[in-house]
Amino acid sequence: MYTVDIHSNKETTKDAISMLEASIPFGRKDKDRILCLITGYGSTSGHGRIKETIIEILNSWVGSKIKDYLIGSELDIFNKRYQNCKYKDKLPKEESRYPNPGKIYIFL
């Protein structure tokens, strides 16, 4: 799993989108073909806007640029989105044990 932190340096939404787009090829080269995007929880310094924007973009990319994605808060066996995700078994087990709502897992 290739991991990118897009919230540690107070990035703007535009910077975060650029980092996402630049990271996809690296995620595709990873053996698991998973990109873990650390967006933060969204509670301070505008990162909520970044996370919302990234999710909107990912929604439009599902089926074309990406296969699917899961937000860390969805890593729960009772979550409908988690249940319907075909690629959930590719996630490392430790990620499911300690779900982090500040992460987005993108299946490439």
Convert the pLDDT of each residue in 57-86 to its tens digit: 999 999 999 999 999 999 988 999 999 999
Measure the CA–CA gap between 15 and 107, rounded to whole angstroms.
Answer: 21
Q: How many domains is the chain built from? A: 1
Q: Which domain holds residue 102?
A: 2-107
Model pLDDT for residues 6-62, shown as the tens digit of each residue: 877 777 889 889 999 999 999 999 888 999 999 877 555 545 788 899 999 999 999
What tens digit of pLDDT does each residue of 32-43 get? 899 999 987 755
CA angle 106, 9, 91 (to 5 degrees): 20
pTM: 0.89
pLDDT score, position 81: 92
pLDDT score for 43:
57
